[in-house]
């Protein structure tokens, strides 16, 4: 019996009381999520998120700590026969921020097959509704519970 799992690894980058999000267009879908992506065969999860930050942000990053791993069943939004397992790490950049961000959602110069832009959301304004997928929504709530003063 085969078990069709899709392991995804995401980074939570907090800077000046804001969290970084990725606005993307992929598979004919507009989505907002945390930066990161798929685990490749032969790599560990921490190595995966460091690679993803290097590829997406063009900047080196370090894993600070594990934040969350999916603890409920979540079917893939794109391949209904696959189960998603997402792992989230708190991240720290190596050096000053060098990547471009926008104030506007989906601020793409042009859309081909895929597109990506980044923006910051203030922690005190962060909501589960800012995100597209159920696991990211849960993680957003966990971030607010941990980092926002009540």
Domain residue extents for the chain? 5-147
Backbone dihedral angles phi then psi of residue 142, each to the nearest 5 degrees: -65, -40
Query: H helices of the chain, where?
Result: 45-57, 134-147
- Contact in structure between 65 and 88 (CB atoms under 8 Å): no
Q: What is the mean pLDDT of the chain?
A: 94
Average pLDDT over residues 113-140: 96
CA distance 18 to 58: 20
Which fold would CATH assign to domain 5-147?
A: Nucleoside Triphosphate Pyrophosphohydrolase (3.90.79)
Rounded Cα distance between 67 and 127, Å, is 17
φ, ψ (nearest 5 deg) of residue 50: -65, -45
pLDDT at 113: 82
Determine the pLDDT at residue 133: 96
State pTM to two decimals: 0.94
d(CA 133, CA 5): 17
For residues 24-43, one letter each, b for 16 or more C-beta atoms within 10 angstroms of the residue's C-beta and e for the rest, the string is: bbeeeeebbbbbbbebeeee
Report whether pLDDT(62) > 60.
yes
Output the CA–CA distances (angstroms, integers) from residue 32 to 67, 119, 145, 150, in the order listed.
Answer: 19, 10, 20, 26
């Amino acid at each position: 019996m085969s078990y069709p799992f899709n392991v995804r690894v995401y980074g939570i980058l907090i800077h000046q009381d804001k969290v970084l999000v990725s606005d993307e267009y992929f598979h004919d879908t507009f989505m907002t999520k945390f930066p990161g992506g798929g685990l490749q065969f032969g790599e560990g999860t921490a190595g995966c998120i460091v690679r993803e930050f290097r590829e997406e942000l063009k900047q080196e990053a370090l894993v600070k700590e594990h934040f969350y791993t999916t603890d409920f069943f979540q079917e893939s939004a794109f391949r209904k026969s696959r189960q998603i397992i997402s792992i989230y790490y708190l991240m720290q950049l190596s050096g000053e921020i060098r990547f471009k961000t926008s104030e506007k959602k989906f601020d793409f110069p042009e859309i081909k097959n895929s597109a990506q832009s980044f923006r910051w959301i203030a922690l005190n304004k962060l909501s589960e509704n800012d995100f597209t997928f159920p696991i990211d929504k849960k993680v957003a709530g966990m971030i607010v519970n941990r980092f926002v003063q009540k």
